[in-house]
Amino acid sequence: MRSHLKGIDVFVAAVESENFTQAAARLSITPSAVGKSISRLEERLGVLLFRRTTRRQALTDEGMLFYEYCVKALEEVRTGEALLDSGKWGMKGRLRLSMPAIFGHYCLAPILLGLARENPELELDLSFSDRTVDMIEEGFDLAVRIGPLPDSINLVARRLGEHKMTFCASPFYLKQYGTPVTIDDLTNHQALAYTRFGQVYHWQYLRDGQVQALIPKTQLRSDDFYVLLDAAISGLGIAWLPYWLIRPSLISNALQELLPDLPPLSHPIHALWPRTPHLPLKIRATVDALVNQLPERLAKIEDRIA
């Protein structure tokens, strides 16, 4: 990479000067050194960058194209140096982060709190809500979202892991109403359904590799997973809940996983941030921490019960 950058500053200076002598004075080197640097660059690229005469040099078409990219590259380097000098890339300052409420509390907060302990000058402003925020309009630096992402040229996404769902019910409920052995059997049972914005969130499953939806007959609806978890433990019906949430209840036998041979349905987890030419270190480091720690944390939580 270093060899690819060698001579670019000399080339740009030569383009922006009337001749090699002027470029040499600008760079505090000899005109001969400028000429040799340009010749080496042309040899490496395999193209002619300048048409030279005894009086002047003019850019070729290839030279003009290369110049445009060289200017951008040098500007990026200068901007990076300026940001580092000013401390804007330090792990300090305010970071506003939006995340799903229960998933955020259970899976993300421990990672973020650890990051805060390691960086005392980092000011975390954490928002726990299942509402899809307008990041740019509401001033969020970062968001974590579960499920398909909307198309947006203004946001950048990085995958963090997968969110697995499973059907479950209490032994008490199953003793009373029987245990479903196929996905179609679920229609004969009472459902504990998750709602968003007043709409029942359809149960989903895989059949022949395709995602299918099932509209359950609901005994209880709620927009809070914890309420559905408590209702399932109380024997009010069957729930479709995140595996990371119900695992302790499976271990204690307060709940039983249903249809364990059903191919698991997973939703992608992404970190999102507004597109910017210069990503602050506080955002980059936070995303890296989530990428490095969240999959391992979910894997430990989601280990199947022996």
Phi-psi region of 93 (alpha: psi -120 to 50; beta: other; left: phi over 0): left
Query: What's the rounded Cα separation, in Å, for the pair 117 and 180?
Result: 47
- Contacts of residue 194, defined as CB under 8 A and 6 or more positions apart, other chains included, come to 200, 201, 221, 222, 223, 225, 228, 240
Q: The dihedral of CA 112, 115, 119, 120: what is its sign?
A: positive
Judged against a pLDDT cut of 60, whether residue 304 lies above it is answered with no
Judged against a pLDDT cut of 70, whether residue 54 lies above it is answered with no
pTM of the model: 0.65
Cβ neighbours around 84 below 10 Å, total = 12
Residue 112 belongs to what domain range?
96-151+273-301
Which of 45, 61, 86 lies at the terminal end of a domain, its last residue? Answer: 86
- Same domain, residue pair 144 and 277: yes
Q: Is residue 22 included in any domain, yes or no? A: yes
- Same domain, residue pair 253 and 283: no
Long-range contacts at 49-57 (CB < 8 A, ≥ 24 apart):
49/11, 50/14, 56/18, 56/19, 57/14, 57/19, 57/20
- Same domain, residue pair 81 and 129: no
Task: Assess contact for 94 and 81: CB atoms under 8 A.
Answer: no
Each residue's pLDDT tens digit, 114-148: 999 988 888 999 999 888 888 888 989 999 999 88
Each residue's pLDDT tens digit, 210-229: 888 887 788 899 988 999 99
- Same domain, residue pair 125 and 183: no
Helix, strand or coil, per DSSP, at residue 34 = helix
Query: What's the rounded Cα separation, in Å, for the pair 174 and 255?
Result: 10
Each residue's pLDDT tens digit, 172-200: 999 999 999 999 899 889 999 998 777 88
The predicted pLDDT at position 163 comes to 84
The predicted pLDDT at position 82 comes to 60
Q: Is residue 306 included in any domain, yes or no? A: no
Helix, strand or coil, per DSSP, at residue 284 = helix
Structure tokens at 171: 């032994």
How many domains does the chain divide into? 3
- Same domain, residue pair 243 and 208: yes
- Same domain, residue pair 132 and 177: no
Query: What's the rounded Cα separation, in Å, for the pair 39 and 43?
Result: 6
Cβ neighbours around 42 below 10 Å, total = 19
Query: What's the rounded Cα separation, in Å, for the pair 113 and 177?
Result: 44
- Same domain, residue pair 167 and 103: no
Query: What's the rounded Cα separation, in Å, for the pair 154 and 130?
Result: 21
Helix, strand or coil, per DSSP, at residue 187 = helix
Cβ neighbours around 262 below 10 Å, total = 15
- Same domain, residue pair 135 and 281: yes
How confident is the model over 35-46, as a mean pLDDT?
Answer: 90
The predicted pLDDT at position 137 comes to 86
Query: What's the rounded Cα separation, in Å, for the pair 144 and 132?
Result: 10
CATH of the domain at 18: 1.10.10.10
Q: Is residue 91 included in any domain, yes or no? A: no
The predicted pLDDT at position 74 comes to 83
Judged against a pLDDT cut of 60, whether residue 86 lies above it is answered with no
- Same domain, residue pair 167 and 118: no
The predicted pLDDT at position 205 comes to 87
The predicted pLDDT at position 3 comes to 53
**Residue that wins the pLDDT comparison between 18 and 187:** 187
Each residue's pLDDT tens digit, 259-296: 988 887 888 999 999 988 778 888 988 999 999 999 88
Can you spell out the DSSP letters for 237-279?
Answer: -EEEEEHHHHHHHHHTTSSEEE-TTSPPEEEEEEEEEE--SS-
Q: Is residue 158 included in any domain, yes or no? A: no
Residues in the chain: 306
- Same domain, residue pair 195 and 242: yes
- Same domain, residue pair 100 and 9: no
